[in-house]
């Protein structure tokens, strides 16, 4: 399919472990966003890429969270030394235009992360 | 910081009844988008409103953007069971140019057949 692809769909990790979540955006989409969605809440912005440049990381909760998009396509969100409060669904979205503004965002199915 | 509030949090209706969800922002928005998320699914884009006072319709769905560009509403006429899900509004800040969206907490709609 031509949608946003995220893997894994589910991830269970023990507290203190590192995890890596992958996002494959729609081909040609310049803008890529990561959101965190807690149960019963709306998605909360984490970070934004324009091609390979990370232009906004104001939503990352702590320095344990790190995101990259080295070649301007696939992106990885890494969480180090996971804590129980990191348990959530992590959504990736991409949009078409360079600025990302005023454009619909296309979401992947998300990765449901559970920290034991 | 900028906040987007939605009410109600939950709404249960009988099939055929109407439904409305309201969205309010603490700051002026450059545009507002609406998304629908089915249980276990991901947010799916419904519509974007840009102009002050704008009204757009999609079949039984009517979307409005307030004159001050700080509030919006979604109205569904004659709900169907396929309308079940959580409806989110999401605003892009007036001075933002990244497309960063601030989502409301959503209104979850249940429709009884």
pLDDT of residue B43 exceeding 90: yes
Task: Tell me the pLDDT band of A9, cut-offs 50, 70 and 90.
Answer: very high
Considering chain A, what percentage of its residues have pLDDT values greater than 90?
A: 89
Q: How far apart are CA B106 and CA B110, in angstroms?
A: 13
Q: Say what the pLDDT of residue B75 is.
A: 98
Residue with more model confidence, A10 or B93: A10
Name the nearest CA neighbour of A64 among A42, A83, A47, A50: A83
Cis peptide before A8 (omega within 30 of 0): yes
The minimal CB distance from A102 to the residues B43, B45, B48 is found for B48
Instruction: Report chain B residues whose CB lies below 8 A from the CB of A109.
Output: 41-42
Q: Say what the pLDDT of residue B91 is.
A: 92
Considering chain A, what percentage of its residues have pLDDT values greater than 70?
A: 95
pLDDT of residue A100 exceeding 90: no
Q: Say what the pLDDT of residue B2 is.
A: 80
CA distances from B1 to A59, B62, B72 (A): 12, 29, 19
- Test the A interface: residue of B99, B107, B108 with most A CBs within 10 Å: B99
pLDDT of residue B49 exceeding 80: yes
Contact flag A101-B33 (C-beta cutoff 8 Å): no
Residue with more model confidence, B96 or B47: B47
What average pLDDT does this structure show over A40-55? 94
Check: CB of residue A45 under 8 Å from CB of residue A54.
Answer: no
3 state SS of B94:
coil
Task: Tell me the pLDDT band of A1, cut-offs 50, 70 and 90.
Answer: low
Q: How far apart are CA B52 and CA A68, in angstroms?
A: 37
What average pLDDT does this structure show over A75-80? 98
Q: Which of residues 11-70 of A touch B (CB under 8 A)?
A: 31, 33, 35, 40-45, 48, 50, 55-56
Q: Say what the pLDDT of residue B22 is.
A: 98
Q: How far apart are CA A92 and CA A66, in angstroms?
A: 14
Tens of pLDDT along A62-77?
999 999 999 999 999 9
- In sequence order, the β-bridge partners of residue A89 are A37, A112
Q: Say what the pLDDT of residue B97 is.
A: 64
Q: How far apart are CA A70 and CA B97, in angstroms?
A: 22
């Amino acid at each position: 399919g031509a949608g946003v692809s995220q893997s894994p769909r589910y991830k269970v990790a023990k507290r203190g472990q590192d995890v890596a979540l992958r996002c494959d955006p729609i081909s040609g989409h310049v803008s890529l966003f990561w959101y965190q969605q807690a149960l019963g809440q709306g998605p909360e912005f984490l970070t934004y890429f324009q091609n390979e440049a990370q232009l906004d990381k104001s939503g990352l909760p702590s320095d344990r969270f790190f995101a990259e998009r080295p070649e301007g396509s696939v992106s990885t969100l890494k969480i180090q030394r996971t804590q129980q409060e990191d348990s959530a669904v992590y959504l990736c979205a991409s949009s078409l235009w360079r600025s990302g503004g005023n454009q619909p965002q296309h979401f992947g199915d998300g990765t449901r992360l559970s920290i034991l | 910081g900028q906040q987007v509030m939605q009410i109600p949090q939950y709404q249960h209706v009988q099939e055929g009844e109407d439904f409305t969800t309201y969205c309010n922002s603490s700051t002026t928005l450059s545009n507002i988008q609406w998304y629908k998320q089915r249980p276990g699914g991901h947010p799916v884009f419904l519509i974007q409103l840009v102009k002050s006072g704008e009204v757009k319709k999609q079949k039984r769905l009517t979307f409005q953007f307030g004159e001050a560009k700080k509030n919006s509403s979604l109205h569904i006429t004659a709900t169907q069971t396929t309308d079940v899900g959580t409806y989110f509004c999401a605003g892009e800040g007036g001075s933002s140019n990244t497309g960063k969206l601030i989502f409301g907490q959503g209104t979850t709609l249940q429709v009884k057949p």
